[in-house]
């Protein structure tokens, strides 16, 4: 049970989900930090608020064009549905009140640049998610057009990259086409917005679900945990650019002889501080706003 006597439904690597009646959920983003499905003992200050604040920003940026499940992040609005929420100040700025959705069994990934697992596959096979890709591409190169590249949702272990035909077999061709159209449109809108801030959205993962028969955007939206966001003036072909995410933490992990199973290694204070600064910089650079002005951040 939560401090508000809500029923706890799920604990993820970062978020906790609580039932709010039959039709709504409260999603609370923690400061937990994970790697290889292992949660570290140390937390990243304000990470949960950054993820929530960025999701709220993007939902408002695309409101009217892309339907979403989000109701509000405003503690006063949440308190109207979850009495007593105003007193739980630690949750302010971390919590999203959302409509319950029947989730698609897909991770809807859009890739504008060659990076990550797509680059590893491309190097070996010349494909991306089993689909042909242009020859001669290097790490960070832009695709001729952004690619919709779904993956499975794994209850245990890692998600698996799949091609469009396999995705259609899971959700149906019509639903896949609707998901693809929605995600590509959202990616284009976000990319244009980021370009004005001197940033490149290399790739991102969307979650979609059904609410009252409508396919809507759910969960976090274009955050450092679900996206690669690069400074446009620091992209060099073949070189991994600096990113507004937990890359300093990943780089530090790569120096360790750790078998990627619990218990996790202790994370040094300087790595925690650098990673926390990256998350705050992501929010402030993308939005042009100060995180201090977000709910709960001034505590």
pLDDT of residue 178: 97
Total-model pTM:
0.94
**Complete domains list, the chain, with CATH:** 1-100 (3.30.200.20), 103-234 (3.30.470.20)
Peptide bond before residue 263 is cis, with ω within 30 degrees of 0: yes
pLDDT at 132: 94
Provide the pLDDT confidence category of residue 157 given band limits of 50, 70 and 90: low
**Backbone φ, ψ for residue 64 (5° rounding):** 90, -20
The pLDDT score that the predictor gives to residue 1 is: 44
Q: What is the pLDDT of residues 39-69, one digit of tens each?
A: 999 999 999 999 999 999 999 999 888 899 9
Q: DSSP letter at 82? A: S
Residue 23 has which token pair?
């039709």
**Both tokens assigned to 275:** 């990673």
Confidence (pLDDT) at 299? 55
pLDDT by residue (tens digit) across 189-243?
Answer: 999 999 999 999 999 999 999 999 999 999 999 999 999 999 999 999 999 999 8
* pLDDT tens-place string over residues 169-183: 999 999 999 999 999
Tokens of 279: 């998350």
The radius of gyration of the chain's CA atoms, rounded to the nearest angstrom, is 19
């Amino acid at each position: 049970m939560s401090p508000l006597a809500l029923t706890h439904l799920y604990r993820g690597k970062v978020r906790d989900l609580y039932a709010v009646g039959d039709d709504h959920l409260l999603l609370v983003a923690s400061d937990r930090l994970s790697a290889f499905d292992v949660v570290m003992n140390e937390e990243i200050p304000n990470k949960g608020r950054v993820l929530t604040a960025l999701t709220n920003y993007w939902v408002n940026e695309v409101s009217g064009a892309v339907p979403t499940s989000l109701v509000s992040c405003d503690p006063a609005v949440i308190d109207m549905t979850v009495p007593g929420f105003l007193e739980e100040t630690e949750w302010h700025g971390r919590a999203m009140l959302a409509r319950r959705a029947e989730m698609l069994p897909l991770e809807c990934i859009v890739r504008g640049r060659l990076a990550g697992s797509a680059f590893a596959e491309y190097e070996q096979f010349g494909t991306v998610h089993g689909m042909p890709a242009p020859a001669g591409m290097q790490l960070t190169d832009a695709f001729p057009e952004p690619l919709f590249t779904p993956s499975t949702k794994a209850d245990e272990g890692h998600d698996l990259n799949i091609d469009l035909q396999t995705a259609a077999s899971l959700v149906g061709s019509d639903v896949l086409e609707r998901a693809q159209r929605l995600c590509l449109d959202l990616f284009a809108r976000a990319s244009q917005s980021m370009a004005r801030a001197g940033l490149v959205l290399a790739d991102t993962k969307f979650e979609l679900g059904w609410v009252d028969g409508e396919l809507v955007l759910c969960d976090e939206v274009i955050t450092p945990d679900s996206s690669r966001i690069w400074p446009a003036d620091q992209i060099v072909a073949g070189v991994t650019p600096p990113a507004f995410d937990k890359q300093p933490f990943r780089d530090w992990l790569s120096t360790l002889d750790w078998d990627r199973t619990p218990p996790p290694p202790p994370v040094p204070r300087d790595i925690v501080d650098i990673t926390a600064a990256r998350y705050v910089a992501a929010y402030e650079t993308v939005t042009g706003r100060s995180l201090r002005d977000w709910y709960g951040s001034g505590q």
